[in-house]
Structure 1
Amino acid sequence: MVISKTPLRISFFGGGTDMQQFWREEEGCVLSCSINKYIHVIVNKSFDRLIHIKYFEQEDVDSIDKIKHDLVRETMRKAGIKGGVEVVILSDIPHTGSGLGSSSTLTVGLLNAFYTYCGKKVSKEILAQQACEIEIDILGKPIGKQDQYIAAYGGLNKIVFKPNGSVQVQQVEPIYNMLPALRKYLLLFYTGIGHKSEDILEEQTRLITHTRPVLRKIKEQVNDALKILSGEDLEKLGTLMQEGWRLKCQLASKISNNFLNELIERAFKAGAMGAKITGAGGGGFLLLICKPELQDSVRNKLGDLKEFSFDLEAGGTEILMDSENLRFA
């Protein structure tokens, strides 16, 4: 039996510049951090020769080609597993439309678990690369590349996407000592609305020729944020996030809506300094930057939303259990 644990993420700045239509022409860049909410993947030899998959649905099939779950199917193929396994997927968040990178987190976690089950040790770089290949090249999803890398590596990172397709993961070590202070300023609420990120991202992709100037400003915010963090001026970070959200809403028509705008306005009136909808937008989670002494006021104003307790995570995907090699985390 093998159990992998892979973190979800919060993307602070630069989202959208990790999409191929942008970085093929000029360098993209994001600032992203993993959080202590996870997707666990359990892989075990099945009691028969069938493939048994359990997530929010259940599949019992006799051939990999019959698997409906596209990420399970393609990660099994990539790892070279043809059958005879039981796969269980457990997630700390709603299974769709979270905006916390759950699809890529799952892809990385599946690859890590399947390769370990096969007795193969694969680097974080390869896990991230192959997750991108599966989601973007094989399955044709209109997504970027940041989520796969943050899930594999973990921590707070500046991730740079080069026009030649290479990716540089730069851990933001010099300001790691201020992460506890940053965490005290962050609030996360579930809006109660799932979203179809692919619909939003397809429109965003079509418009990149026209929105490239906006995306350049979004990219510039990454270095602005790093300067602010190095000076530990978290109020300025809130102002920067507020501007980033305004820019992001120019990338596609469904990134925000009246309901989300009203939630953000309520949060600002209660004392929040910065706000954004995580991921592609349209629903999922609301991330806020707010002084600790004003957070109860914000909670009261958003009392109809479920607060999502979390912390920032330093690690990426890992194997918790590998019974074949008697290895336990």
Structure 2
Amino acid sequence: MRVSFAGGGSDLPGVARDGGGRVVGAAIDVRVRVVVEPFDRGWVRMESASRGPARPAGGPGAAAPQVVTRRRAEPARDDVAFRLIEATLSATGVDDGVALRVETEMSPGAGLGGSASVAVAALFALRASVGDAAAPEELAREAVALERERLGNACGAQDQVFAAFGGLLDLTFDARGCSGVRPLPVGCPDLVPALSAGLLLVDTDVRRVSGEILDRMEVGSASDAKGALVAAAGEVARGFELGSLALVLSGMRRGAAAKMRLSGAASALALSLQERLDGLGVEVLRICGAGGGGHVLVWAPAERHARILDALGPRVVRRPSLGAPGVRLEPA
């Protein structure tokens, strides 16, 4: 999955159409695993399971696996749990005598690009099962088309690129999707460890469908904020190139403020969290993904984390590793 440091929202097609968008971010070590195996001819079996750490009472913890077995000739499932899996089977033509299992380390709606990661991993695994190698840029394009055109989801195009390529990336966008992928040059070897050491991903315990949040967002408001979002992404990229943690954090703060202005409703949980952590030395607090729930990214020097974690109480907090690899095959 991924975190973006700045620019998220400028990759939406209605926003990127006028002058382009830019996102700077990183793939993180929260994974999706897809297993494809032979099954009885004439049948399709699908399984979806999420797992993760123990949750507070009532929180969205690991759920029991959902399993569907159907004849190939029967209509595809249209429920939320299987629509995306069904679309990958149809898009690849690997839809007879196949079992596909999706395992995620995060329940859906976490704001970290999980659905795009599932799409990329499933497309990659299904194509690999019939000897069809796909390049990262092809996988990302196909995954975006799958969500936008086949499923009618409102979505940007950054998540699919981070899932396919991995690493630390500087991405540009136009109305068609991602128009440029550049690995971020890092001017100082100590920068990424220092940035990682201060990062906390705070789970709000609220899961939502990002497309529904984006459908309620006015394109005009996103377009108005785009200049600030793109400028913030540029500042973060310069910080990486110069090896300046201070400049990276400055760009992240600038981008976080611009993103908070996009939608009051989507930002409500983040603003509440900001009030709770006031005075504890948090230097960056930004919405992950479309907002409205999922995760909030917090950055503070590691020596301040103990007080921050005490203030957060029983919430699940993750310390992500930055620059995780993109989609790949693993031995069975």
Work out which of the residue numbers 287, 304, 323 in structure 1 matches 2:297.
Answer: 287
Match of 1:140 in 2: 152
- Alpha-carbon distance, 1:109 to partner: 0.3
Deviations 1:278-321 (A, max 9, x none): 11001111211101111111111112211113211341000113
Describe the superposition over 1:81-140 as per-residue Cα deviations: whole angstroms up to 9, x where unpaired: 12111111111112x210000010000000000000111111111100100110012211
User: Does the 8 Å CA contact 1:24/1:165 hold for their aligned counterparts?
Assistant: no
One-letter amino acid of the structure 2 residue matched with residue 61 of structure 1: R
How far apart in 1 are the matches of 2:89 and 2:221?
39
**Structure 2 residue 162 is matched with structure 1 residue 150:** yes
How far apart are the structure 2 equivalents of 1:185 and 1:229? 16
Identity %: 26
Which segment is superposed worse, 30-39 or 61-70? 61-70
2:283 maps to 273
| Partner in structure 2 of residue 116 of structure 1 | 128
**Bigger shift: residues 104-113 or 276-285:** 276-285
Letter of the 1:172 counterpart: L
What runs of 5+ residues in structure 1 fail to find an aligned partner?
1-7, 322-327
Q: Post-superposition shift, 1:152?
A: 0.3
Structure 2: how far apart are the matches of 1:165 and 1:40?
A: 25
Cα 1:53–1:158 shift into 2, 3 Å: same
Pair 1:66 & 2:59 matched: no
Counterpart residue type for residue 155 of structure 1: G
Query: One-letter code of the match for 1:37?
Result: V
SS of the counterpart of 2:186?
helix
| 2:322 is aligned with 1:312 | yes
Which residue matches 1:15?
Answer: 8
Q: Which amino acid aligns with 1:246?
A: A
Alignment match of 2:224 (pick from 171, 193, 213): 213
1:231–1:45 CA distance, 2 compared to 1 (3 A): same
What do the CA deviations read for 1:29-77 (whole angstroms, capped 9, x no partner)?
1012100110000010014531111114211111273233121111112
Instruction: Give the length in aligned residue pairs.
Output: 311
CA distance in 2, matches of 1:151, 1:175: 24
Asked whether the equivalents of residues 199 and 319 of structure 2 are also in contact (C-alpha less than 8 Å), the reply is: no
C-alpha displacement of 1:149: 0.7
| 1:252-277 per-position Cα deviation (integer Å, ceiling 9, x unaligned) | 242122x4322122224211111012
SS at 2:277 equivalent: helix
* Map 1:62-141 → 2, pairs under 5 A: 62-63=71-72, 65-68=75-78, 69-94=82-107, 96-141=108-153
Q: What TM-score does the superposition give when structure 2 sets the normalisation length?
A: 0.88
Name the CA distance, whole Å, in 2 between partners of 1:123 and 1:287. Answer: 30
Match of 1:38 among 25, 28, 31: 31
Q: What's 1:160 paired with? A: 172
- Of residues 296-305 and 157-166 in structure 1, the stretch that sits farther from structure 2 once superposed is 157-166
Q: Are 1:25 and 2:53 counterparts?
A: no
SS in 1 for 2:161: helix
The RMSD of aligned alpha carbons is 1.9
- Correspondence 1:298 to 2:308: yes
User: Which sections of structure 2, spanning at least 5 residues, go unmatched?
Assistant: 49-64
AA of the residue aligned to 1:216: G
Q: Point out the more displaced range, 248-257 or 149-158.
A: 248-257
Deviates more, 1:136-145 or 1:48-57: 48-57
- Cα deviation for residue 181 of structure 1 reads 1.6
Once residues 36 and 210 of structure 1 are traced to their aligned partners in structure 2, the CA distance between those partners, rounded to angstroms, is: 32
SS of 1:254's partner is helix
1:325 corresponds to: none
Which residue in the other structure is 1:192 paired with? 205
SS at match of 2:266: coil
CA distance in 1: counterparts of 2:251 and 2:278, whole angstroms: 14
